[in-house]
A and B are shown apart, each in its own frame.
Chain A
Amino acid sequence: EPEVTQTPSHQVTQMGQEVILRCVPISNHLYFYWYRQILGQKVEFLVSFYNNEISEKSEIFDDQFSVERPDGSNFTLKIRSTKLEDSAMYFCASRWREGTGELFFGEGSRLTVL
């Protein structure tokens, strides 16, 4: 069964460093998402991406964040200058069609900012 894959599974970085989290969505999916979950808190929407552009973003997704689909398979989340409060689990998800199509999630990338 096809799956969303994410790398790395865990990354430790120093405050102020740039981080890139990578995701490979399911191949025929058209809609892509990033969510994050700070330890002990709920899963929060960051950004959705469709047709090679951001379709919606939350207030969390400020200028420090960017997303890219550099080729036909990868979907990346970049944090330019990490802060302590960026420490969280980041989940990538994809969907093949709009509306009520199911979101398929990756296993997550744990980011620890020291």
Chain B
Amino acid sequence: AQRVTQPEKLLSVFKGAPVELKCNYSYSGSPELFWYVQYSRQRLQLLLRHISRESIKGFTADLNKGETSFHLKKPFAQEEDSAMYYCALIRGSQGNLIFGKGTKLSVKP
């Protein structure tokens, strides 16, 4: 079964500390993975996708097929990074996203 697991509901760090938001997946075939972010009272928006291998707002995520993981990392957290973060994978040709439960990141001053 296709599944995305985000084990942490809440992650709290201090400003300037490194952040790692964990994501594991279960998928038969080659997965396409994404991180979506939802800032307070805003819509879900794409943060990054594994195929583009880019860094957005200082965040990076590497697909590790051996560990079936796609952890989101940032070396120095900022207060404006506080948000809900959702890991997701695409299922099927229609591009339907399967989401994890989300991790709330709280960055304290």
- Whether, in the assembled complex, B97 has its beta carbon less than 8 Å from a beta carbon of chain A, the answer is yes
Question: Which one, A19-27, A63-71, A79-87, A97-105, is touching chain B?
Answer: A97-105
- With beta carbons under 8 angstroms apart, the residue of B49, B51, B95 that contacts A98 is B95
Instruction: Kindly provide the distance from the CB of A89 to the nearest chain B CB, expressed in whole angstroms.
Output: 10
Would you call B95 and A101 a contact (CB within 8 A)? yes
Decide if A48 touches B94 in the complex (CB within 8 Å): yes
How many A-B pairs fall under 8 Å by CB?
Answer: 58
Q: Judge whether A41 and B101 touch: CB under 8 Å.
A: yes
Decide if B42 touches A107 in the complex (CB within 8 Å).
yes
Whole-angstrom CA separation of A109 from B98 in the bound complex: 20
Interface string of A20-58 (1 = CB under 8 A from B): 000000000001010100000111110010100001100
Tell me if A108 and B43 are in contact (CB < 8 A).
yes
In the bound complex, how far is the Cα of B44 from the Cα of A98, in angstroms?
Answer: 19
- Residue in chain B with minimal CB distance to A47: B96
Would A50 and B44 count as touching, CB distance under 8 A?
no
Q: Nearest Cβ in chain B — how far from A106, in angstroms?
A: 6
19 contacts between A and B (CB under 8 A): A4-B43, A33-B96, A42-B99, A42-B100, A43-B86, A43-B102, A45-B97, A50-B94, A55-B94, A56-B94, A56-B96, A95-B95, A98-B94, A98-B95, A100-B49, A100-B51, A100-B90, A103-B46, A103-B95
Where the two chains meet, the residues of A that have a C-beta atom closer than 8 Å to any C-beta of B are: 3-4, 31, 33, 35, 41-45, 48, 50, 55-56, 91, 93, 95, 98-103, 105-108
Q: Please name the 9 residue pairs, one residue from A and one from B, whose CB atoms are nearest each other, closest first.
A: A105-B44, A42-B101, A43-B99, A107-B43, A48-B94, A55-B94, A105-B43, A102-B46, A56-B94
